[in-house]
Amino acid sequence: MAKIGHFVILPNLIPALGLVVAIFRQLSWFFYQQRRRYGLSLLALLIIAFVSMLPPWITGRVVDAMAEGQLTSGLLYRYLGILLLAALVSYGLRVLWRITLFGASFQLGHQLRLQIYQRLTQQSASFYQQFNTGDLMARATNDVQAVEMAAGEAVLAMFDGLLTALMVLLIMTLFISWPLTLVALLPWPIVGYFMWRFGQQLHDSFNLAQQKFSELNERTQESLAAMRLTKAYGREQVEWQSFAQVAKEANQANQQVAAVDAKYDPAISLAIAASFLLAIMLGAYLIEQQQLTLGKLTSFTLYLGYMVWPMFAVGWLLNLLERANAAYARIEQLLNSPISIRPGEQDLANPNPSLELAITEFRYRPELEPALLQLQHQLPAGQLLGMVGPIGSGKSTLVQLLTRQLQSDSANICLAEQPLAELSEAALAQLMAVVPQDAFLFSLSIAENIALGRPDASQAEIEAVAMVAQVHQDILAMPEAYQTQVGERGVTLSGGQKQRIAIARALLQQAPILILDDALSAVDVQTEAQILRHLRQQRQGKTTIICCHRLTAVEQADHILVLDHGQVVQQGRHQQLLQQPGWYQQIHQYQQLQLLVEQGK
């Protein structure tokens, strides 16, 4: 993002106060939570502001004493001692407020990221169709950082700048010369108007820059994830041009923010130069008229130099609050998005429950056709259920409802007559183990990926489930066997190996219900038959649900549901369905013919 510039001046307090009220009202819950830290920080800043007023005052006294010939070594040493003590006090308190103030702001960033992550884990698949990955990453990183700076550096700019300005103005007005102070401040209102205009431009340009940053994030994530496909199709140049265009737009947006930033420094420099010029001109006249001493003019110019920080501080405050205001609006949109998955709080009384489906209909969005319609079925505990059907028939939707990745009032699912929606997350995790279509592996070792659901599992238990999944020998053939690192998303493994490791991971949970969602599509028929045979042996008395396209996977099922357009069009055992004209019979004949061709018969 564009560098934070040095900003606005003291007369721009009205827009600054509006932004302060807006963002600080939004973060009032956090400031109350961290009130002790902020109180200690502000007390330290108050003392520092007071101590900082001493050097210019002492310098003026020394100049007047020298001019009058009254400066003695004892007086000089006394002044030097006061300055040294002030420096030590200021040093200690600056360390203190940095630790407390910035520590509190970092805590805000930590809490916001946790809230975002928690909200993301409570959302269904439909939510992730509204927000892409890059946008969510931008909100959890760049936007949170902007709000974090508002709770740290903006608080510093507001209170330290305000305290310094008030003390300097009081000293210059009451103890030096109020006419000189008034004249020195004349340029500020003019520059303040331009700062207000720049602030409006900054808000719009920063909003655009954040949007472009989200797009760049998403494009980067997508490009890295699809790198193997890009190389396979020779699309490097096409993808490079596409990425270059997104990067160019993000750069242009940041350049626009930087262009607004660039307007502030010259304006502030002009105000400072004009203030010093007017102060010296009038100060020389007042000295000539014997209405001001040289020492007081020296102190005044030093104090006027102190006003540079409040000028920058108020502008810096506006900059930070403009960014935080835009960023927090994006974060709030995310945090206020309705929770689509609401977990219950009950435990499951029956450790091996039956399953009852009563789905009137399920739609992803009201305007879309039903993904599931009038689906009724009861599955006794310990049985093997097969679910088959053409692509788009509703199998994966049903799996997502079973695992509570999707939820709907019109889709009632009960386990041992207990509604699935009432179960706690912990109860559901103990109850079901799922192998999804896309076998996701973390950038860990193979053993750690298998033991994901049971980190305390022994090596013998890990190897036992790997044997059932028919992946044990493949693992032993790897350079470091079970300690082999699989790379991001399992990039070093084949599709079949990833699926079998995912199956081993699910088996290790020893859950009463195992769901395989097309989890055998990347293995050959012989390996599939061995895996299924071992599954039946190991999971006797436990419920297993297999969704697949290859009918050989469900030949031994106790019951088979054939879905088409979200409805059950056929059901029964394998042999029964072979006798019924329809999709199952046709696909079985086709797959048998395909198998004969593959075997060369």
Kindly state whether residue 529 falls inside one of the protein's structural domains. yes
In this structure, the number of other CB atoms found within 10 A of the CB of residue 29 comes to 10
Residues 6+ apart with CB under 8 A from 521: 437, 499, 548, 549, 550
Shared domain check, 266 and 405? no
pTM, rounded to two decimals: 0.61
Shared domain check, 314 and 448? no
Domain count, the chain: 2
Position 364 scores a pLDDT of 78
Position 18 scores a pLDDT of 65
pLDDT at 288 over 60: yes
In this structure, the strands spanning 432-435 and 513-517 are: parallel
Banded model confidence at residue 47, pLDDT cuts 50, 70, 90: confident
Shared domain check, 415 and 292? no
In this structure, the strands spanning 418-419 and 411-415 are: antiparallel
Contact in structure between 113 and 140 (CB atoms under 8 Å): yes
pLDDT at 5 over 60: no
Shared domain check, 421 and 488? yes
Of 317, 335, 353, the domain-final residue? 335
Q: Calculate mean pLDDT across residues 160-178.
A: 79
Provide the residue range defining the domain that includes 327: 10-335
Residue 428: what are its φ and ψ, rounded to 5°?
A: -65, -40
Structure-block tokens of residue 554 = 């469900």
Q: To 5 degrees, how large is the angle CA 419–CA 420–CA 425? A: 135
Kindly state whether residue 84 falls inside one of the protein's structural domains. yes
Shared domain check, 452 and 521? yes
- Give the up-direction half-sphere exposure of residue 19: CA atoms within 13 A in the CB hemisphere: 28
pLDDT at 67 over 80: no
pLDDT at 277 over 50: yes
Shared domain check, 305 and 454? no
Q: Calculate mean pLDDT across residues 464-493.
A: 77
Position 319 scores a pLDDT of 72
Position 17 scores a pLDDT of 62
Kindly state whether residue 428 falls inside one of the protein's structural domains. yes
d(Cα 88, Cα 558) in Å, to the nearest integer?
A: 82
pLDDT digits (tens, 9 = 90+) for 507-541: 888 888 888 887 777 677 777 778 888 878 777 88
Q: Calculate mean pLDDT across residues 207-219.
A: 74
CATH code of the domain covering residue 298: 1.20.1560.10
Kindly state whether residue 342 falls inside one of the protein's structural domains. no
Q: What residue type is 434 in one-letter code?
A: V
Kindly state whether residue 364 falls inside one of the protein's structural domains. no
Kindly state whether residue 363 falls inside one of the protein's structural domains. no
CATH code of the domain covering residue 593: 3.40.50.300
Position 346 scores a pLDDT of 67
d(Cα 389, Cα 571) in Å, to the nearest integer?
A: 11
d(Cα 333, Cα 317) in Å, to the nearest integer?
A: 24
Q: Calculate mean pLDDT across residues 33-42.
A: 85
pLDDT digits (tens, 9 = 90+) for 365-422: 777 788 888 888 888 888 888 888 888 888 888 888 888 777 777 878 887 777 777 7
Structure-block tokens of residue 581 = 């004209």
Shared domain check, 573 and 449? yes
Shared domain check, 294 and 408? no
Which residues sit opposite 269 in a β-bridge?
none
pLDDT digits (tens, 9 = 90+) for 53-65: 777 777 777 776 7
Strand order in the sheet with 418-419: 372-379, 355-362, 411-415, 418-419
Mean pLDDT across the chain: 77
Shared domain check, 314 and 251? yes
Shared domain check, 413 and 481? yes
Query: Buried b vs exposed e over 415-427: b needs ≥16 C-beta within 10 Å?
Result: beebebbebeeeb
Mean pLDDT is highest, among 18-32, 290-304, 320-334, 567-581, for 567-581
Which residue would you say has higher pLDDT here, 299 or 265?
A: 299
Shared domain check, 134 and 79? yes
Of 312, 335, 358, the domain-final residue? 335
Position 494 scores a pLDDT of 74
Kindly state whether residue 407 falls inside one of the protein's structural domains. yes
Please tell me the least confidently modeled range out of 29-33, 35-39, 575-579, 595-599: 595-599
Position 343 scores a pLDDT of 65
Give the torsion through C-alpha atoms of 323, 326, 331, 336, to 10 deg: 150
pLDDT at 192 over 70: no
State percent of the chain over pLDDT 70.
85
Which residue would you say has higher pLDDT here, 188 or 110?
A: 110
Position 265 scores a pLDDT of 66
Shared domain check, 576 and 480? yes
Position 7 scores a pLDDT of 37
Position 199 scores a pLDDT of 65
pLDDT at 349 over 70: no
